[in-house]
Amino acid sequence: MKDQILVTGGTGYIGSHTSVELIEKGYEVVIIDNLSNSSIEVLDGIEKITGVRPAFEQFDLCEADKVKSFFQKYTGLKAIIHFAAFKAVGESVDQPLMYYQNNLISLMNLLRNMDEFGVKHLVFSSSCTVYGQPDELPVTENAPVKPAESPYGNTKQISEEIIRDNMQVKPELNTIALRYFNPIGAHSTSHIGELPRGVPNNLVPFVTQTAAGIRKELMVFGDDYNTPDGSAVRDYINVVDLAQAHVVAINRLLQKKNNSNFEFFNLGTGTGSSVLEVVKAFEKVTDQKLNYKIVDRRSGDIEKVWADTRVANEVLGWKAKRSLEDTLESAWNWEKKIRGIK
Ligand code: UD1
């Protein structure tokens, strides 16, 4: 019998790619999503790639009674990957209570039911935002957690603390927190990808929408940073590479290879790229000029961050494989497909 894994937020961007990788590695996937930032058609995409349509339950994880009914129905869960959360930095500044309510209550409902129903393994979707602007680069998992720059970032920090405190009294729980750098790109088949609602906040969907003619021009936020070309530097990681790290984390938990019951891993490539480098790489792979202009820095942005990936490489046994160019090409192919561009 296949091991059954619950993927919360499984129709979302990273959740859908992870569901595909889990199915392809022989796991049975059950998805919970309230579709607040994703669409039901994502299930078709997952099915087209894998030939399997995962079980799907649509409800909000903040509704405690529904979470409990779910655990009463699905009694064979081996592990949970918890993606479901709000993730827009700017929106979290405008609506902090909505972010704390959604991101923290859902986690606590899950933890309470994991305890009650004996589910012992959790992979938690965290972020490099917990490091703020690190003092040393590349940033290691031992770098201090800095005061959060936004309510969104704070929900990731508090979530890690909630998990840690709960494990003090529930030592049978095992958790891996994966701290993502900047996930980009889409599945190579173009059956699933990123589907931002409204004007994208993140760089790559804004770039692909500009190239598709949906946005007039990209605004590059700042060219006066202390970086080689003056634009801000991030560690852009292919979403399929990132998804595969979740499968490795699940294998590790189920095989009980973890040395402590709460582990953290940075998921990045180990290489930083500036905004202008991303623009140039995109122009190269698409063979077209991108409309852009330099504007002021965006408030709350840090200057530069990239991952020290040694722990993920050596302990987790995972490494990002796909290049920035290939990843940008996958993002562009996806954009073309959803816009019907040849
Ligand atoms: C942020 C969060 C990250 C979160 C992610 C998800 C921080 C430090 N990081 O990443 O934790 O998971 O959002 O939403 O809070 N840029 C432009 N023009 C644009 C858009 C972006 O120049 O139109 C630049 C930004 O200034 C930045 C880089 O591109 O330098 C990447 O931005 P973005 O894709 O929004 O990600 P982060 O802000 O790094």
Q: What share of the chain is helix, strand, coil (3-state, %, to 5)?
A: 40, 20, 40
Residue 259 predicted with pLDDT over 90 = no
- Answer whether 221 contacts ligand 1 (Cβ < 6 A): yes
Average pLDDT over residues 184-192: 98
Average pLDDT over residues 323-330: 98
Residue closest by Cα to atom 25 of ligand 1: 221
Taking alpha carbons only, the member of 157, 204, 163 closest to residue 332 is 204
- Kindly give the distance from the C-alpha atom of residue 203 to the centroid of ligand 1, in angstroms, as a whole number: 6
Residue 313 predicted with pLDDT over 90 = yes
- Answer whether 89 contacts ligand 1 (Cβ < 6 A): yes
From the list 99, 152, 180, 236, the catalytic residue is 152
Q: At 300, is the pLDDT very low, low, confident or very high (cuts 50, 70, 90)?
A: confident
Residue closest by Cα to atom 13 of ligand 1: 89
Residue 192 predicted with pLDDT over 90 = yes
Known catalytic residue at 27: no
Mutation test of ligand 1: which of 13, 155, 221, 229 has the most ligand atoms closer than 8 Å to its C-beta? 221
Provide the pLDDT for residue 226: 98
Average pLDDT over residues 181-209: 97
- Answer whether 130 contacts ligand 1 (Cβ < 6 A): no
Beta carbons of 194 and 267 less than 8 angstroms apart: no
Taking alpha carbons only, the member of 300, 328, 298 closest to residue 92 is 300
Provide the pLDDT for residue 186: 98
C-alpha angle 239/340/89, rounded to 5°? Answer: 40
Tell me what the pLDDT averaged over the chain comes to: 97
Alpha-carbon torsion (193, 195, 201, 204), positive or negative: positive
Beta carbons of 151 and 100 less than 8 angstroms apart: yes
Average pLDDT over residues 275-290: 97
- Kindly give the distance from the C-alpha atom of residue 223 to the centroid of ligand 1, in angstroms, as a whole number: 15
275-286 and 324-339 are packed helices; what angle lies between their axes, rounded to 10 degrees? 60
Residue 342 predicted with pLDDT over 90 = no
Provide the pLDDT for residue 288: 93
Beta carbons of 87 and 152 less than 8 angstroms apart: yes
Provide the pLDDT for residue 282: 98
What's the predicted TM-score (pTM) here?
0.98
Neighbours of 112 (CB within 10 A): 15
Q: At 27, is the pLDDT very low, low, confident or very high (cuts 50, 70, 90)?
A: very high
Distance between CA atoms of residues 332 and 186, nearest Å: 9
151-169 and 96-117 are packed helices; what angle lies between their axes, rounded to 10 degrees? 20
- The pLDDT tens digits of the residues spanning 213-255 come to 999 999 999 999 999 999 999 999 999 999 999 999 999 999 9
Q: Which atom, in ligand 1's list, is nearest to the CA of 184?
A: 34
Q: At 260, is the pLDDT very low, low, confident or very high (cuts 50, 70, 90)?
A: confident
- Answer whether 184 contacts ligand 1 (Cβ < 6 A): no
- The pLDDT tens digits of the residues spanning 32-51 come to 999 999 999 999 999 999 99
- Kindly give the distance from the C-alpha atom of residue 202 to the centroid of ligand 1, in angstroms, as a whole number: 5
Residue 149 predicted with pLDDT over 90 = no
